Structure formats: C-alpha cells, structure tokens
Amino acid sequence: MSGYDRHAYEPFAVTVDLAVFTLRAGVLHGLLVERGEEPYAGRWALPGGFVRPDESAETAARRELAEETGLTDVSGLHLEQLRTYSEPGRDPRMRVVSVAFTALLPDAPEARGGGDAAQARWIPYGSARALAFDHDRILADARERVGAKLEYSCLATAFCPPEFTLGELRQVYEAVWGTPLDRPNFRRKVLATPGFVEPVPGAARLTGGRGKPAALYRAGPAAALHPPLLRTPREGRPA
Amino acid sequence: MSGYDRHAYEPFAVTVDLAVFTLRAGVLHGLLVERGEEPYAGRWALPGGFVRPDESAETAARRELAEETGLTDVSGLHLEQLRTYSEPGRDPRMRVVSVAFTALLPDAPEARGGGDAAQARWIPYGSARALAFDHDRILADARERVGAKLEYSCLATAFCPPEFTLGELRQVYEAVWGTPLDRPNFRRKVLATPGFVEPVPGAARLTGGRGKPAALYRAGPAAALHPPLLRTPREGRPA
DNA sequence: CCCTTTTATAGTCAACCTGACTGTAAAAGG
DNA sequence: CCTTTTACAGTCAGGTTGACTATAAAAGGG
C-alpha cells in the first residue's frame, strides 16, 4: 500500500457475483436470474448484489446465496472465492468491482426468485448465452475452476447429498468434465483414497433406478486427493 | 446482482497488495516495504496502493510492481490474482477492499524504495513477522498458492532467468516447498514432460559454482504439467 | 415369467510412473 | 593429487492407471 498515504483515492461500488452449480438428472446446471431493469433488462445474469458496509465479501455472498436459492440453511454449502473482476467499463453506469464466488449445491430446490430478482432459474450449463455484464466469462471461469479442483480435491462430494452412491459421485465428475469415466476404475480410485468417502455402516442400500442397488457412502474427512484423479490429458503438447 | 437496483450502496476504497517472491542464493525472499505513516508506522508491509479510477486491479498491480521493484520492464513477469480480502476492520481508518496479487521475479534487483514507500527490501520468507494489516496472512496464502501451483503448472520457470540449468530449476522447487528433491529423479521428470523446458541448442554450458558444468535450458511452451510433479504427501490421512 | 437392459462390483493384465539407489564424468578447492 | 561438489546415465522394485472381462442384482418389456 505504498500509494496509500499519498494519492487521493476514488470510491468504488463493491458487489459479489455468484456462480452457483448443481446437478439435475446428471446434467450440470447453473443458477441464473432474469434482470428486471436497465442495463441488460430482460437478460439473464448471475445472482449477486452489493456488499454492505458491515460485511465481508464472503458474508455478502452467503447472504445472497440464501436469498436467491430460498434455502433456509446455507451454512454447510461449499462457497469459495473465484476471483475479482475489476475492468473499468464492465458496468456501464458506474465503477463496480465485483468479487465472484463459486457455490456448489447437492440437490436443486426449484429456485424461487427470492430477494429482488424478477425470477431465478436453473439453466443447463452451456444453454444460456449472452449473459449480462461480463457474467459469461465469470461463469466459464467458475466451471473451469470447479473442473480443475475435482482433480486434486474432494470437492465432488459437495454436489452430493449426505449419503450417496459411487455412481452418483461418478456422475459429478462426468457432468463437470464432460467425459465418461470407466466405472470400475473410478470405484477403485475413490475407495483407495483414504478419507475421500466412507461406507455407511448399516446394511444401507439404495434403489434409485434400474440396475443392482448400490452401497451408500458419506463424505470423508479428507480435503485433498493424494494422488490426484486426473482428467485424461487432452493431447501431448508438441515441442 | 439482484440487489443492484434496489439497495443503496456504500462506497469502498479498493487497493491492490502484492506478494512478490524471488530466489536469492537458493532462498525464497519476499518483497516488503517499511511503512512511514500511521497506522502501523515503522512496520513492514506488502507493497501496493490504490486502484485508480481508470485502471483494473491487474493494471494497478503491474504499475505498483514496476514502481516498487524499480524494473523498467515488468511486462514479462508472472503476475496473478491471489484473492480479495474484504473483512471489515482490516484497515482501521476506512473500509478498504484489497485485491491481492502474487508476482514472481527471476533475479532480484536490489529493491529501491520507489514510489512512496520509505524503503523496500527483500526479506527471506519466514523471517518477517507481524506485518501491517492482514499482510501476514496474505503472504502466507500467496506462498501456499505458489507451492501448490508448482505441482501442476510450469510456473517454476518464472523464478528463473531466460536460460537456466536444471539445478537452478530444482532449487526453485526446493526453496518453495522446503524439501530436498532427488536430483536424478527431478531431471528425469522434467525432461519427460513435453514443453516444460527445451535445451538451448548451442554448445551452451554455464559455470556457476563448483561441480560439472550443466546444460542450459529455456522455458518451453507448455503451461500445465501432465502428469503433475507432486510434493510427497505428508502422511496418509487416517480414516 | 423369461429375457434384455442397466447398473454395481470383483478381478486381471500390461504399460507407465515413481522413489530409492548406484555409478560415472567433469569441474573447483585445498 | 585428492576430496568435494554437481551433472548426468542408468537400474530395479513397487505402485498406479487404463483397458478390459466377468458376475450379480435389480427393472422393464414382451
């Protein structure tokens, strides 16, 4: 903060923007709200809002998340800072610096357009284009970050309910990465990672759809995956 | 931005803080400035300053980096957003939201206290305690991030001059991770990763200190490491 | 009620990667 | 000249991964 005591400073508006993801029927969805006013009236945008004077960005993000999803308890949800977007001109009205967050939800309560948004809705990722402001880019950055974190962290369980099958966990990876994974290999890898998942002791089995019932698991205490679960490297980079 | 059009907003001051790292004699150093005024007068702090109205945080960070290091060309240096710190009360005078950046320098020009700081100096990481504001935490977060990125990216070359030996590259990993690495295995791994480094074609050899002269390499076109170069997992997490 | 489809789970096998280690070469310093 | 230091080549066993086969247990359709 060398310029701290010498230069005059200009005030900025500070907002949070939320890239909220969930899985519905094995497809990655993002939460979007329809704007009611100019600029970008009628366009879809990420939920978010101003940071209040007594809040940190994290606190504001969690408050907005609760307002927008209609969930009464968002304390256990995964919420993580993505990055801050501060280009001049990203908001046509004034100078706005926005701290973007990524949130992951296990199930998808139908979004009630809480707060002040006209309406909120879960949209399959990729089917919404031309969002307001620079929200297309924020959403893409968030998805990329989530995909990368699946490789070396236990983040995937944040998409799952408290008890889940390994098939559901695999669907998280497949939906976010957009690649099918080998079932037996995925199973072996997950079970070999200490602390990733732990079996639910009771003779617990679940019948969701067709095939053989699957054993239930809970998220384990581990936060990181050692060694990581890597996406197939697209191609070797040529020298 | 659901609250965008309904709630009044409060202005914030927006600053950038820089965690600048370099290697001197194989030891990780951070760039710190001594504060000349209250609060925290006389204490060490991260370099940084206010974001100007026509700047993005990235632009402001690069400008401050040039001012603080005295380098005439900082365009090629690695500069990356770390995260944003926004706790109320992190600055006793006013509401300041700070976007923190991490920068990596190959060599260490003796820091001239450019800009407005009383003086700027390279301090071995870990020997400076009780920095001003929340800068201890920012610096620790930055080091952790750099250590993690060394695993799965080609970031290490950002600490090296344009041409370097594999020994120098290995010292980067050892200094940031605080662990000695096996020389032959490190060499094998780096050379087996396509695009990480490429040999300097001329009969290029360098004599730095003692032993056998080493071949010179340049940074290659790759940005990511596949598969990653992992730190030894400290210990298996107990179930 | 049988047969097909779907999913879970067990297991095999070869290729690859990694960590630990040995050996040789080429310089500097005493 | 001998020791120390660093670079570099190579070996070897164990672990991990990707590809693949096989079996079990359910649902759905005829």
Q: According to the 3-state scheme, what is the secondary structure of chain B? A: CHHHHCCCCCCEEEEEEEEEEEEECCEEEEEEEECCCCCCCCCEECCEEECCCCCCHHHHHHHHHHHHHCCCCCCCCEEEEEEEECCCCCCCCCCEEEEEEEEEECCCCCCCCCCCCCEEEEEECCCCCCCCCCHHHHHHHHHHHHHHHHHHECHHHHHCCCCECHHHHHHHHHHHHCCCCCHHHHHHHHHHCCCCEEECCCCCEECCCCCCCEECEEECCCCECCCCCCCCCCCCCCC
Output DSSP code: residue B41.
Answer: T
Is the pLDDT score of B50 beyond 90? yes
Q: Measured between CB atoms, which of A11, A68, A222 is closest to B12? A: A11
Comparison of pLDDT for A2 and A68, the residue scoring more: A68
| Protein-covered nucleotides on strand C (Cβ within 7 A) | 5-12, 17-23, 25-29
- What DSSP line would sit under B72-132, residue for residue? S--TTSEEEEEEEE--TTSSSSS-EEEEEEEEEESS-PPPP--TT-SEEEEEETTS--S-S
pLDDT the model gives residue A38: 82
B186 or B237, greater pLDDT: B186
- Looking at residue B27, what DSSP letter applies? E
CB contacts < 8 A (A, B): 186
Residue A114, judged by CB atoms within 10 A of its CB (0-12, 13-18, 19+), counts as: middle
pLDDT score for B1: 46
Report how far residue A165's alpha carbon sits from residue A173's, in angstroms, rounded to the nearest whole number.
13
Whole-number pLDDT of residue B73: 85
Mean confidence (pLDDT) of chain A = 89
Mean pLDDT of chain B: 89
Q: Which residue in chain B has the smallest CA separation from A54?
A: B88
Among candidates A1, A33, A97 on the partner chain, residue whose Cβ is nearest the Cβ of B48: A1
CATH class of A13-150: alpha beta
Q: What class, spelled out in words, does domain B153-219 have in CATH?
A: mainly alpha
Summarize the confidence of residues A210-222 as an average pLDDT: 92
Q: Give the pLDDT confidence score for residue B118 in this predicted structure.
A: 66
Region of B238 on the Ramachandran plot (φ > 0 left; ψ -120 to 50 alpha; else beta): beta
Which CA distances in Å does A45 have to A36, A131, A143, B1, B119?
A: 10, 5, 15, 8, 45
Write the pLDDT tens digit of every residue in A151-194. Answer: 999 999 999 999 999 999 999 999 999 999 999 999 999 999 99
Task: Report DSSP letters for A141-206, one per residue.
Answer: HHHHHHHHHHHHBSGGGGGS-SEE-HHHHHHHHHHHH-----HHHHHHHHHHSTTTEEE-TTT-EE
- Asked whether the predicted pLDDT for residue A219 surpasses 90, the reply is yes
Q: A230 pLDDT exceeds 60?
A: yes
Tell me what pLDDT residue A112 has. 66
For chain B, domain boundaries: 13-150, 153-219
Which nucleotides in chain D have some atom under 7 angstroms from a protein Cβ? Answer: 4-11, 16-22, 24-28
- What's the rounded mean pLDDT across residues A32-46? 92
A95 to chain B, any CB pair closer than 8 A? The answer is yes
Quote the tokens at residue A181.
């994974």
Provide the pLDDT for residue B208.
Answer: 65
Please report which confidence band the pLDDT of residue B69 belongs to, taking 50, 70 and 90 as the band edges: confident
Residue B158 phi, psi dihedral angles, 5° rounding:
-70, -20
In this predicted structure, what is the pLDDT of residue B223?
Answer: 95
The H or E element containing residue A56 is none
Per-residue pLDDT, averaged over A215-238, amounts to: 80
Helix H segments across A3-154? 57-69, 135-152
The per-residue pLDDT for B8 is 56
